[in-house]
Every structure is written in C-alpha cells, then in structure tokens.
Amino acid sequence: MKKLLNESEKEQIKLLYESKGILLFEDTIWGTLAKKALSWIGKNEDDIALLFKTTEKTLAKSIDDIVEVATKAKSVEQLDDIQMKLMHFYNPSGAAQNIPKAQQQMKNFLNGFAKSKGKQNWTQIKDEVLGKVESSASGAFKDLFKGKKVSNSSFVNMKPDFTNILNAKNVDDYNKLIAKAIKTGDYSYISSKGFEKFGIDNFRNYLKNNIAKINELDPSTGRWSVIFK
C-alpha cells in the first residue's frame, strides 16, 4: 500500500523547496523573490541595486506595485510581509544561530532595492509610506530642520537612525555629545550619518555650519536648543 505523507513530512518538503528558492507557487512574485534572493546571497547592497536597475526590472516593478499599494493605504503591513518572507527564505528552519546572517542578507536585498530607486535605504521607503518624510520631485529629502528651533527633546519622537551612529547607542547619550560639540566647537566625535531621513546627508557638517542661534547648552545633562539657518 502506498504510504501517504503526514503533515510534518509535507511541511519538511515545503521548507526544502523554499530553502532552494523554488516555491510551490513559483509563478507568483514570492516564487521569483525567493529564487532571486537566494541566488544573490553574498552580494552587497550596491550589487543588488545594479541588478534591480538592469536585468531584474520586472521584479523591481512588482515590489514597486506593493509599495504603491502600501503608500495609498499608509500602512507598512505589506512591506513587513516582504521582510518576513525574506527572513523565511534565508532561514527556513528558523534556527536561532542563523538569524543574524539572515537579517544581514535581508538588509542587503531590501536596501539594494531602495538604492535602485534613489533612496538611502529600505527604512526611508517605509518612512515615506507612513508620510513621515517629505520628498521633492527630484527624490531628494526636504531639510526638515531649516529655520527651525531644534533641541534635545526633538529627538524623542524624531529618532535618528542609530544603526549609522558610531559613538552613541541612544538619544540621551547622543544629546550629550551634541551639546558638547556645540559648546566646544569640536565636532569630530559627531557621526556624519544617521540623519538622512531628516534631509541631512552629513549631520556633522550640518551641525557645525548651520546653527543660527544657540538658546541653551548643558553637555552634562544633554540639554541643548538651537535655531538652524
């Protein structure tokens, strides 16, 4: 008698297909996404961005369509779904020891897509979907600090991207560094990155060259307040 597969065996076969980038529904976008994602393991963001702009325009258009729907709904639920599917493609067993590597591969894939669209990273796309950032017709960010009073409390809700900030891992520590830099004039320990979503490509230079007025400075507590040009 022919033995039927139980549910556990079916799931193992499904995982085997997915781990090789061949979904059971491989004619869908998820099948294509799986195959491309797994074939690009080892490529960096710039390599993947180039692929999206040249040989993989069809896949890029499919992701564009998802982003467009998400933008109209002002919800990142479908974008989070892409992330979760990529994590599953890169780590189908869910093994804890494989999570860091899978996360890096997912980041390379999504940031590569974002760069192919002239964006800084995938986070920028998600922020734009939620309407957190204004962008001009050219795709460049509007300088959100220009002419504004900005202080340590401004970053409670408008948090910098600490994945790109080297000398501080939280807002309180970074506010102390910012206050110290403004007071001493030594900006060497202020990271250039981390404020791209506010329209500032080099925060170190921006802080150094664009303060019109200093209202308050206390490096010991991290309290500071300035008006930018």
Question: What is the Cα 47 distance to its own chain's centre?
Answer: 17
pLDDT in tens, 34-90: 888 889 999 999 999 999 999 999 999 999 999 999 988 888 889 988 998 898 888
Q: Which residues pair with 227 in a beta bridge?
A: 149, 213
What pLDDT was estimated at residue 180?
Answer: 93
CA distances from residue 21 to 85, 95, 96, 132 in whole angstroms, order as listed: 11, 18, 20, 34
What does the alpha-carbon distance between residue 217 and residue 90 come to, in Å, rounded to a whole number?
47
What does the alpha-carbon distance between residue 105 and residue 101 come to, in Å, rounded to a whole number?
6
Mean predicted confidence (pLDDT) in 107-120: 92
Q: Taking a C-beta distance cutoff of 8 angstroms, is the pair 99, 93 a contact?
A: no
pLDDT in tens, 148-178: 888 888 877 677 888 878 888 888 899 999 9
What does the alpha-carbon distance between residue 49 and residue 64 come to, in Å, rounded to a whole number?
14
Mean predicted confidence (pLDDT) in 13-28: 48
In degrees, to the nearest 5, what angle opens at C-alpha 73 toward C-alphas 71 and 74? 60
* Beta strands in 73-184, from DSSP E residues, in sequence order: 149-151
- Residue predicted with more confidence, 223 or 30: 223
3-state secondary structure at position 165: coil
What does the alpha-carbon distance between residue 185 and residue 112 come to, in Å, rounded to a whole number?
37
Give percent above pLDDT 70 in the chain: 83
What does the alpha-carbon distance between residue 165 and residue 4 come to, in Å, rounded to a whole number?
55
What pLDDT was estimated at residue 25?
Answer: 44
